[in-house]
Structure 1
Amino acid sequence: MFGQEFVLGVTKPMLQLVLAAVIVFALFWAASRHKAMVPGRLQFVGEGAYGFVRNSVGRDIIGAHDFARYVPYLFTLFFFILVNNLFATIPFIQFPTFSRSGMVYSLAILSWIIYNGAGIKRHGFFGYLKHQTVPPGIKGPMLILLVPLEFMSNILVRPVTLALRLFCNMFAGHLLLILFALGGEYLITEMGGAYAAVGLLSWVLFIAVALLEVLIQFLQAYVFVLLNAMYISGAIAEEH
């Protein structure tokens, strides 16, 4: 059994990715299955969730003219990341998928392809490079310094910073929860005496950090999708 798992290379985060995709698909398929003029509870929740991403991220950031074609990606991305983040606080799973950097970089590369592809489609390949690397109103020798900096910032560095922001927050939060939970257990069971009170305090902090982590998990999913929308908006904009 263990040999088969090693050969196949299936890990817990991989299974969580599949589980999150199934959960997101099943939830919104069920919400849209029986559409009615007066929505039921599940349809109401699904429409509210869709409207949140569509309006507050897609339309407000990308603009009313172009946002619709990118909403399905932004909507799916937001809830896929959110479910994977919430796995960190679900009993018997308790592991944030995106505390593994490779998982996050895959999403960042996909986003990089999409927003650069959108910009190339709008401006053409060389027009897009100019759009992203040549600041408007700047001429002469100053471009020798600015063009490489703009290329690094807008083309190369964005997917790295996009991934690191999500990865570091999920990884750090997971470490804090482990520290308070296991540290409290050690102080109570192994040290005893006055240290037991400190262990109980550690468990209280564990609960407080766990509640805070739920907010952070939502915010990190939102920020990741918000930045995607901003990058798409900048890529297809007529002005730099």
Structure 2
Amino acid sequence: MREDATWAAVWPHDFKELALFSLASALLVADGGESGGFHAPSIAEFFPQVILFEGTPFALDRVMLVRIVAATALVLIMVVVARRATLVPGRAQAAVEWLMDFVRKNVAEEVLGKDRARQFTPLLTTLFFAILAFNITGVFIFLNIAGTSRIGLPLLFAVVAYVTYIAAGIQAKGVGGFLKSSLFPPGVPWFMYVLLTPIELLQVFILRPATLAIRLMANMVAGHLMLVLCFSATQFFLLSAGPALKAFSVITLGAGFALTLFEIFVAALQAYIFVILTAVYIDLSVSEEH
């Protein structure tokens, strides 16, 4: 697998941007610019007012509380499943085991090989479950926003991936060997290094972690805006629009439910893409050639 084979990571984001722009444009036309009409969601959705401990380093807003709820729920689920584990698994245990096997077989072993996968499977599995838990909060009632929709948490996951593949490369080759294989690709004429080495430096040490974080956040942001737009549009068409436009509430409500299902898919997809790219970067770091 090559690290540029990431079309699946980009497609959901592009699709949502197009749909978001189209629906927002239609609603603004329907509203006619009236001050009391429809108000489209904005980036302010992701920076709500502080709820607890305002003015301190421990200030908590809605997004932070959602993250705490997601982390607590994930830990509790894992503890309960582990303590109640049986030879014949129940539904919860079977679901957790299936996801763990999926990461081990379809990510770690598929990309890194069985021998090397043993070392990195625990980390990749932890990343997958954590990202999935924080992503999926965007479709839960009373939470309604992904914990990864602000850059801090995606950046933290990206730093973990970054440190892991750098450390793996240094462990396998030593500092000099890692830098040589990363910045001076073998089989290239020496004069090409003037061009390739700065590109490799930028890619290995900046672009990889940056794109991991931005890709994850961007998809969660777009998904939240789409859901808010659809359901607020339903309220607008049903309660505020003229009689001729009320029928559109059925369309926007149906689109909202459809996008909810789509967001569940995207939440899982982005968790998968994050861990598989992390595995690819680890493989590139420890392999002799890339």
TM-score bracket for the superposition, by shorter chain length: over 0.9
* Separation (CA, whole Å) in 2 of partners of 1:40 and 1:82: 21
Q: Do the aligned partners of residues 125 and 65 (structure 1) sit closer, same or farther apart at CA in structure 2, a change above 3 Å counting? A: same
- Counterpart position of 1:185: 235
**Kindly tell me: are residues 221 and 2 of structure 1, through their superposed partners in 2, closer, same or farther at Cα, counting changes over 3 Å?**
closer
Q: Which runs of 5+ in 2 are unaligned?
A: 1-49
Output the aligned Cα RMSD. Answer: 1.8
Structure that is richer in helix per residue: 1
Aligned to 1:4: 53
Contact 1:184–1:203 at 8 Å: present in 2 too? yes
Q: What's the offset of the Cα at 1:34?
A: 4.1
Matches within 5 A, 1:91-130: 91-130=141-180
The verdict on how the C-alpha distance between 1:25 and 1:169 changes in structure 2, with shifts beyond 3 A counting, is same
Residue of structure 2 in register with 1:158 after alignment: 208
Give CA deviations for 1:125-176 in whole Å, capped at 9, x if unaligned: 1211111111111132111111111111122111111111111111001101
Post-superposition CA distance 1:95-148 (Å, at most 9, x none): 111111122112111211111111111111121111111111113211111111
> Which amino acid letter does the alignment assign opposite residue 127 of structure 1?
G
Structure number with the bigger relative contact order (C-alpha 8 A, sep ≥ 6) is 2
Q: Which runs of 4+ in 1 moved over 6 A?
A: none
The answer on whether the counterparts of 2:66 and 2:145 sit within 8 Å (CA) in structure 1 is: no
Are 1:27 and 2:77 an aligned pair?
Answer: yes
TM-score scaled by length of structure 2: 0.78
Query: Structure 1 residues 208, 42: closer, same or farther in 2, change over 3 A?
Result: closer
1:178 alignment partner AA: V
Answering whether residue 277 of structure 2 is matched by residue 222 of structure 1, we say no
**TM-score in terms of structure 1 length:** 0.93
Residue type at the aligned position of 2:66: Q
Q: Is the 8 A contact 2:135 2:147 kept in 1?
A: yes
Q: Which runs of 5+ in 1 are unaligned?
A: none
Percent same amino acid among aligned pairs?
A: 34
* Deviation for aligned residue 1:35: 4.2
Contact 1:31 1:45 in 2 (8 A): no
